[in-house]
Structure 1
Amino acid sequence: MNKITKIALGAVTIASAAVLLAGCGSSTSASKAPKAKDKNINLWTFADMKPQIKEYEKEVPKGYKIKETVIPYADFQTKLDKVLGTSKAPDMVALDAGFVSKYVDSGMLADLAPYGVKKATKDSFPYTLDIGKNPSGQQVAISYQAAPGAVYYRSDLLQKYLGIAPDDQTAAQEAFSSWSAVEKTAETIKEKSGGKAYLFSSLQDMYMPAIGGRTEGWVKGNKLQIDPSLITNLNMMKTFVQQGLTQNTVGQNSDWFSGMSSNNVVAYSLPSWGLFYWLQDYAKGTAGSWRVIQGPQSYSWGGTWFGAVKGTKDEANAAKLAIYWSTNKKFQTWQATANADFVDIQSVDKTVGDNFDGSKVKGNPLGTQNPYPVFSKAATKINGKIITKYDQNIQQLWINDVINTYCNGKESEAKAIATFKADVKSAYPNLTTD
């Protein structure tokens, strides 16, 4: 998920916006694209998108009338599942990274090819497109943002314990260049601080990059797979707990957040949107002291995809709006500048990055550092092909059954993994787990 702010900056010319929107289906014969019954779009989303709707209406005042229905994240899938395939289904859906693949593979989303998606997405990050393709290779979902992960660190504390200058991101990256380097850095911080400071607050700061940066998906050919890198990561986390190299809080709880304003946590692994969604809100008194680097591996965390529901009376309008929000450069520029977002069109991120002025961003945790080059480099290395419809549940089982038990000494590695496999089998009887 990303934070939707209430700021609305910039506008595009009505003429250019209307031309792009009208031309979304130009690359494929009109006979292959359903005709919309009217100019309405019924949008279901898990996060309020009124700022995006208002900006669209400003740019295209004679465009579509968008009716937004915001459903709490926890209830979104249950309610959507009940109406898909019925006359009560929405025309358009916003899908979080945690469950987008479930609906991409469902057969319920419209192929966006007749609306010109291939031509429109030539400058999109490849991984977001891969995630939005169904098993037949059809692009049925498209993202308006990219969400690469990164390491955010306290430059003053890294200088204190490692002697790295505050703006020497090259040296900082070297200290986080691999997981073995990360472990050495953590040991140095513990030694130099007399055990009063930790490299990371929680195990989440280690397992989110590892899970997001796998080379193998959780499921292949209906068989459960555990990427070997996850076992390496698991044993490293066990070492961190045993040797007191992590504060060992629970990710995203009050203690984890409070570390952002303390002097005893050096770094956090966060997505691009975590900069202004989490770090800015909780780094009280430490704003300006943080810097961002890629860290030991590229990974993604979060994001929002749009899809048009197949067979609704306004499927065509929904498909065109999804493409517009995700590829129109002026709208994407507004999204990046108004909402402090890292968007899916690479040239827009480059332009926004080239014009970045950190001194104008009030309360920016990074001071004047420009994060766009870091995010852009990381996003090009993300593998979207490993994502499957099983991921959200299997990932949570891995965290609960294996990481939380084995790393904290509650179960042996073998017992924890056996429990994990049994729970996966219980949730998905069709999968082979042995």
Structure 2
Amino acid sequence: MKKISRRNFLLASGAVTIGAALAACGGSSASTSTASSAAASSAASEAPAAQGKVLNIWCWNDEFQSRFNAYYPEVSEVAEDKSTTTLKDGTVVKWTINPNENNNYQNKLDEALLSQDSAADDDKIDIFLIEADYALKYVDSDYALDVKADIGLTDDDLSGQYQYTKDIVTVDGSQRGTTWQATPGLFAYRRSIAKDVLGTDDPTEVQSYLSDWDKFNDVAAQAYAKGYKMLSGFDDSFRTFSNNISAPWVDGTTINVDPNMMKWVDQTKEYTDKGYNNKSSLWDSQWAADQGPTGKVFGFFYSTWGINFTLLGNSLETPVADGETPQVGNGIYGDYAVCEGPQPYYWGGTWICGAAGSDNIELIRDIMQKLTCDEAIMKQITLDTQDYTNNEKAMNEIANSDYSSDFLGGQNHIALFAEAAGKIDMSNAGPYDQGITESFQAAFKDYFTGNVDEDTAKANFQTAIQEKYPELTDVVWPA
């Protein structure tokens, strides 16, 4: 695979303009790309002679920060405002957290990486985090170091990890990131609603009613007859369809809309017209409320992080303080369960990348080894947080144990995640996925609500793509 050019690196997120790139680097786009690429490649191949005493980590929320502070063995002290973490050897970890809204995180990260060569050592980015939707934009460039050749992880270190978590950040045999989590998806449903609609809340029996889309749609009709919504809104099932496309979105300069995406369009339009959803969008107030005590939605498609963080939090009547354990009876805590649903899928995931130009290679290696490869640490994170971590042996041990989740009514959801994780296929992932899927969802929302017809929604999608990615010249729709 050919590395993304500096110009396309910026265009792949739609976040930083070419003008901003030139302002950051100086000179013409051609000369800047050549000089910067050479400098970044040199930085990636030459290990620094000495380690720095400041480690700069860039991320978009505090999830990795909390994992680092709680589970990295070298942590000595955390500042009261959490802006810094001091390690036992005196190294100061500085956290730069830029929220993800409106591509803000990528925008600022891109600008900083473009200035990496000229930044002072204590200001250079050492570690930056990326998400699955735009991972290839960074790993298929000169900004992320090879975790083996440049950083020093071994095949043995990485052997316990799920293969897909390595594949998504590997280009031309070079793995340029690693992660502590795997993110298979399941369908989380309300036990009380399932009993009312189906006569059972048992996960195995509920799965038998939801094992393909035709059955899923039948249950949606039954739920509606009982006064419930099957899903909250337009986007809930999107990942389940988009993760099961037959080919990448982009081939050369052409976007190919997979037939599976139009199945999502047809289903969502039907659900909206028939009242099977609440016309919400991911992360809006209606969507969050539908997951809580007053909600009347059958279930939600969620991956690992979503169940134990977002869904759990939204289920509570009374929020709990950090470190406090919620109890059954607080809202609908204990009324959810999970099953496989109609199709395997994944959602999200966060990868740790070492930045070219860092003067903390040995420390980056130790962090990656401890927080993504150490079996005991991975197992403890899952036991403590219910998150699903990236060590197949550790997860199988928990899956085959008497582990249970009070939030999920005593269910061992790790067993289902362990089965689903092996089915994840990242072969169709591409660097434009985030921008394309966001534009696709936005264009068809107007169709779902009746503001435009389907042909207009298609035309609006094509216009949005041409504005966002002018190098992509054609859109082909399924017959």
Q: Shorter-chain TM-score: what band? A: 0.7 to 0.9
CA distance in 2, matches of 1:227, 1:262: 37
1:249-284 CA-to-partner distances (Å, cap 9, x unmatched) read 222222222222235211111111111212211223
Q: Which residue of 2 aligns with 1:212?
A: 243
**How many aligned residue pairs are there?**
392
Alignment of 1:183-262 (within 5 A): 183-191=217-225, 193=226, 196-260=227-291, 261-262=293-294
CA distance in 2, matches of 1:59, 1:337: 20
Q: Which runs of 4+ in 1 moved over 6 A?
A: none
Distance 1:66 1:345, change over 3 A: farther
Q: Which residue of 2 aligns with 1:101?
A: 136
Match of 1:148 among 181, 184, 191: 184
Matched to 1:210, the amino acid is: F
Deviation at 1:141, TM superposition (A): 0.9
Deviation at 1:292, TM superposition (A): 0.2
Is 212-221 or 152-161 further displaced after alignment?
A: 212-221
TM-score normalised over the length of structure 2: 0.76
CA distance in 2, matches of 1:231, 1:301: 20
Is 343-352 or 47-56 further displaced after alignment?
A: 47-56
Is 228-237 or 410-419 further displaced after alignment?
A: 410-419
Deviation at 1:50, TM superposition (A): 4.4
Matched to 2:134, the amino acid is: F
Deviation at 1:356, TM superposition (A): 4.7
Distance 1:237 1:50, change over 3 A: closer
CA distance in 2, matches of 1:39, 1:331: 26
RMSD of aligned C-alpha atoms? 2.2
Match of 1:344 among 378, 390, 393: 390
Match of 1:180 among 194, 198, 214: 214
1:170-199 CA-to-partner distances (Å, cap 9, x unmatched) read 2211221111111111011222x1xx2111
Tell me if the contact between 1:47 and 1:70 (Cα under 8 Å) persists in the aligned partners.
no
Paired residue secondary structure (2:338): strand
Alignment of 1:2-41 (within 5 A): 34-35=47-48, 37-38=50-51, 40=53, 41=55
Q: Which residue of 2 aligns with 1:397?
A: 439
Residue 292 in structure 1 maps to residue 328 in structure 2: no
Deviation at 1:132, TM superposition (A): 0.9
> What runs of 5+ residues in structure 2 fail to find an aligned partner?
1-44, 77-86, 317-330
CA distance in 1, matches of 2:253, 2:380: 42
Tell me if the contact between 2:52 and 2:359 (Cα under 8 Å) persists in the aligned partners.
no
Q: Which residue of 1 aligns with 2:307?
A: 275
1:183-237 CA-to-partner distances (Å, cap 9, x unmatched) read 111011222x1xx211111122221321233332222333212111011121111
Distance 1:210 1:312, change over 3 A: same
Deviation at 1:145, TM superposition (A): 0.3
CA distance in 2, matches of 1:50, 1:245: 38
Match of 1:324 among 354, 367, 370: 370
Matched to 1:357, the amino acid is: Y
Tell me if the contact between 2:233 and 2:281 (Cα under 8 Å) persists in the aligned partners.
yes
1:124-171 CA-to-partner distances (Å, cap 9, x unmatched) read 11221111112x2310011110111210011221121122x222x222
Residue 46 in structure 1 maps to residue 60 in structure 2: yes
Residue 410 in structure 1 maps to residue 410 in structure 2: no
Q: Which residue of 1 aligns with 2:196?
A: 160
CA distance in 2, matches of 1:59, 1:316: 16
Distance 1:301 1:236, change over 3 A: same
Deviation at 1:320, TM superposition (A): 4.1
Tell me if the contact between 1:215 and 1:383 (Cα under 8 Å) persists in the aligned partners.
no
Paired residue secondary structure (1:99): helix
CA distance in 1, matches of 2:72, 2:339: 34
Tell me if the contact between 2:74 and 2:88 (Cα under 8 Å) persists in the aligned partners.
no
Distance 1:396 1:350, change over 3 A: same
CA distance in 2, matches of 1:274, 1:356: 23
TM-score normalised over the length of structure 1: 0.84
CA distance in 2, matches of 1:368, 1:314: 44
Residue 118 in structure 1 maps to residue 147 in structure 2: no
Q: Which residue of 2 aligns with 1:12?
A: none
CA distance in 1, matches of 2:204, 2:89: 48
Is 83-92 or 227-236 further displaced after alignment?
A: 83-92
Paired residue secondary structure (2:57): strand
Share of identical aligned residues, percent? 24
Paired residue secondary structure (1:257): helix
Q: Which residue of 1 aligns with 2:416?
A: 374
Match of 2:108 among 79, 82, 92: 79
CA distance in 1, matches of 2:262, 2:357: 44
Is 45-54 or 108-117 further displaced after alignment?
A: 45-54
Is 384-393 or 60-69 further displaced after alignment?
A: 60-69
CA distance in 2, matches of 1:330, 1:142: 17
1:378-406 CA-to-partner distances (Å, cap 9, x unmatched) read 1211112222221111111011012x022
Q: Which is bigger in relative contact order (C-alpha 8 A, separation at least 6)?
A: 1
CA distance in 1, matches of 2:252, 2:340: 32
Tell me if the contact between 2:400 and 2:415 (Cα under 8 Å) persists in the aligned partners.
no
